[in-house]
Amino acid sequence: MTKIVAVAGKGGVGKTSLAGAFVKVLVEKYPDKKILAIDADPAVGLSTVLNIEVDKTIDDIRKEVIKNVEDGDTKSAVELLGEAKYEIYDAIKEQDGYAFIAIGRPETAGCYCRINSYLKEVITLLSEQFDYVVIDGEAGIEQINRRVMEKVTHLVLVTDASKKGCQVVKTIKNVADELVMYEKAGVIVNRIPDKKVIELMDIGGLPLLSVIENDMKLAEADIKGENILTLSDDDRIVAGAAEALCNIGLI
């Protein structure tokens, strides 16, 4: 049974760094398991955190199929979509201990529901070949349902100490209850100046998975453009990610 963890929250709370830390923890904990990292944020931030050069995204493939259809390609739609499936598999970047694929930035106008639905099915089928899937989504959860997959098993919501961050977490949870099938959900409170502020925060009764204070080691790694996988296990972001994965039942 594939475990699919989606990471969501408002912009600027460190969710992409946490998604990268999740990959690090899972790779080290389960060296014999197949792990897939999906960058579902149009900004393609997870690839930067993991130092991966993205050659082709799912949306690049989607646009190729749409262009062929619009140009009156003589191939049948079935053939075109079949080729797209193989292109998606070719777009996977094999890394040390895990695989990576980016969804990309949708720029094609118009409604291509059948193409979008097909590609989402392919991503779902691809994910089923892995033991663990980590999805870094853009701010919100609707896009994971719309462009990636309809079901995740674990939903990790990330906030900072701000009231806005907490409100976004609660809103995402409400939307996810309607749109996304999931088994477990919880909150990581990240980038806080002092753990005492937790007492003042309202996360809507959601389980608190971990609390992470400001991490200067991570800030330094970001500035230098270093791979988050090079951080040590006792660095705050990594230790907090491991605690969250433990509390939500993934390790």
pLDDT in tens, 96-129: 999 999 998 776 555 567 777 888 888 899 999 9
**Coil, helix or strand at residue 226:** coil
- 179-189 pLDDT tens trace: 888 999 999 99
pLDDT of residue 146: 77
Beta strand 93-94 with 99-102: parallel, antiparallel or unpaired? antiparallel
Q: Which residues pair with 102 in a beta bridge?
A: 39
- 26-66 pLDDT tens trace: 999 999 999 999 999 887 799 999 999 999 999 888 888 88
Radius of gyration of the CA atoms of the chain, in A = 18
d(CA 246, CA 239): 11
- What is the average pLDDT across 233-239? 96
Average pLDDT of the chain, as a whole number: 90
